[in-house]
């Protein structure tokens, strides 16, 4: 059971890492428009690996169109959206040493391990810095068993702002709802929000005062906690400035929040909150950790009694358990697309300017070398990516190359991401973006 002190420290550090110190007031979408086309990226990471047989159409061994292909059963929910889909097979992540999980290395493109802090920032955070600014630059949500989400409402295993600077995922939808929409709520939610706000304000004042008496060597580290409280309190004030706007997008709170029958009830409402943060313009970068970057996770709401580490030891192709989990993921992807498609933006919709990156934090399977790291892209990011196709690579380019591509199309001119020339000589056969996936 997480103790009270660790919970407060984790919450403060996580808030500071997730929100940064550059929150801006005003309508988030309007602010984004001033810098160009509003664009957004969603990273969906499923634990335990992503076997290529669960996404590559049978018989497709070389690059080509998906128009006449039939998608495998685990992702068949995406069949009506094939023209927006790009399946990539043959990237690698051998340098990340994934095994049970690459943890921060999955989105960082570097060596990761259980309990090891991030050695650099991750691609989701870096993309959030390049995209037009929003009130909340980056939101991370994590889905797990109801027990884990209850006892550990925040956890950091996937995203980071820099070396030793993890970003915490939100796993309790009640806490996340209070943070995003507590200021426009009524009844118990409003009372809880105000009580929590008063506590955080008091803690911030105490933290500032106590920090002055610390030795210089400890002051910088302690300052992370202070900034975390300052940022969450500042975010609350800034969200208050767009209260009328947010009311149009706040999800309806029902018994799935307060009396979940299964963990999938919380998974579903966490996704609703993530979608609402995107459609309202609060954020333009969302990271979803199904299994929260670990080897755990549960889906009893789907009729899957097995959970956690044992799931990783099951073969995924033709496995009814993994078919259910992947189909559930695919339906979530469809919900995201349909929600963004329903919101007009420019001459089209929000989905026209969005990219969804779906993969695993563990390459193709548990206990893997990382030699193959399948990825699915949905959307073309304002015309930047090819869609309706399958791309087979030769296993000589790392996931870092895809991440460098994301940065390039987002507006940052880079040839590599988190990969030195020395490391690239061993693990990357080329340089620059993945031209095979660009439009």
Tokens of 86: 């790009």
Q: Model confidence over 96-149: pLDDT tens digits?
A: 999 899 999 999 999 999 999 999 999 999 999 999 988 888 999 999 999 999
Q: Tell me which long-range contacts 197-203 makes (C-beta under 8 A, separation of at least 24).
A: 197/233, 197/236, 200/229, 200/232, 200/233, 201/233, 203/8, 203/12, 203/229
Q: Model confidence over 415-434: pLDDT tens digits?
A: 999 999 999 999 999 999 99
Beta bridge partners of 392: 89
pLDDT at 9 over 90: no
> Rounded CA gap, 359 and 356, in Å?
10
pLDDT at 289 over 80: yes
Mean pLDDT of 205-214: 56
Q: What is the pLDDT of residue 133?
A: 87
pLDDT band at 396 (very low <50, low <70, confident <90, very high): very high
Higher per-residue pLDDT: 8 or 370 = 370
pLDDT band at 242 (very low <50, low <70, confident <90, very high): confident
Q: What percent of the chain has pLDDT over 90?
A: 72
Mean pLDDT score across all residues of the chain: 85
Q: Give burial (CB, 10 Å; 0-12/13-18/19+) of 293.
A: buried
Q: What is the pLDDT of residue 178?
A: 87
Q: Model confidence over 33-72: pLDDT tens digits?
A: 334 678 999 999 999 999 999 999 999 999 999 999 999 9
Q: CB count, 10 Å around CB of 346?
A: 12
The 3 state secondary structure assigned to 190-258 is HHHHHHHHHHHHHHHHHHHHHHCCCCHHHHHHHHHHHHHHHHHHHHHHHHHCCHHHHHCCCCCCCHHHH
pLDDT at 195 over 80: no
Tokens of 289: 């950790």
Tokens of 372: 């193959």
Q: What is the pLDDT of residue 218?
A: 59
The answer to which of 5-14, 184-193, 331-340 has the lowest mean pLDDT is 5-14
pLDDT band at 362 (very low <50, low <70, confident <90, very high): very high
Maximum distance among all Cα pairs of the chain, rounded to whole angstroms: 68
CATH code of the domain occupying 25-170+260-426: 3.40.720
Q: What is the pLDDT of residue 205?
A: 58
């Amino acid at each position: 059971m997480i103790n009270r002190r660790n919970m407060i420290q984790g919450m403060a550090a996580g808030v500071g890492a997730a929100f940064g110190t550059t929150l801006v007031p005003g309508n988030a979408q309007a602010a984004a428009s001033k810098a160009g086309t509003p664009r957004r990226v969603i990273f969906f990471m499923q634990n335990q690996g992503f076997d290529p047989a669960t996404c590559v159409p049978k018989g497709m061994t070389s690059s080509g169109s998906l128009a006449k292909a039939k998608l495998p059963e685990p992702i068949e929910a995406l069949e009506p959206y094939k023209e927006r889909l790009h399946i990539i097979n043959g990237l690698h992540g051998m340098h990340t040493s994934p095994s049970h999980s690459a943890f921060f290395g999955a989105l960082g493109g570097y060596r990761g391990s259980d309990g090891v802090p991030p050695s650099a920032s991750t691609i989701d955070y870096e993309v959030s810095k390049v995209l037009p600014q929003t009130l909340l630059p980056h939101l991370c949500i994590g889905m797990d068993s109801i027990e884990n989400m209850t006892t550990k409402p925040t956890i950091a295993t996937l995203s980071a702002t820099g070396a030793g600077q993890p970003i915490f995922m939100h796993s309790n939808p009640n806490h996340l709802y209070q943070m995003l929409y507590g200021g426009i709520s009524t009844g118990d939610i409003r009372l809880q929000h105000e009580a929590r706000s008063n506590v955080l304000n008091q803690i911030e004042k105490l933290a500032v005062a106590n920090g002055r008496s610390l030795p210089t060597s400890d002051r910088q580290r302690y300052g992370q906690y202070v900034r975390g409280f300052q940022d969450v309190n500042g975010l609350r004030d800034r969200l208050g400035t767009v209260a009328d706007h947010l009311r149009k997008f706040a999800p309806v709170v029902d018994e799935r929040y307060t009396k979940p029958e299964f963990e999938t009830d919380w998974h579903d409402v966490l996704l609703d909150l993530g979608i609402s943060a995107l459609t309202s313009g609060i954020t333009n970068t969302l990271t979803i950790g199904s299994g929260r970057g670990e080897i755990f996770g549960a889906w009893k709401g789907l009729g899957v009694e097995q959970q956690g580490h044992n799931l990783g030891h099951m073969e995924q192709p033709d496995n009814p358990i993994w078919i259910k989990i992947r189909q559930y993921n695919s339906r979530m992807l469809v919900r995201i697309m349909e929600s963004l498609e329903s919101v007009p933006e420019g001459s089209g919709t929000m989905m026209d300017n969005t990219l969804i990156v779906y993969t695993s934090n563990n390459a193709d399977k548990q206990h893997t070398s990382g030699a193959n790291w399948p990825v699915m892209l949905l959307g073309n990011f304002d015309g930047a990516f090819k869609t309706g196709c399958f791309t087979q690579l030769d296993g000589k380019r790392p996931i870092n190359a895809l991440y460098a591509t994301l940065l390039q199309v987002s507006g940052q001119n880079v040839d590599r991401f988190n990969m030195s020339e020395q490391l690239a000589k061993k693990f990357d056969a080329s340089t620059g973006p993945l031209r095979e996936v660009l439009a």
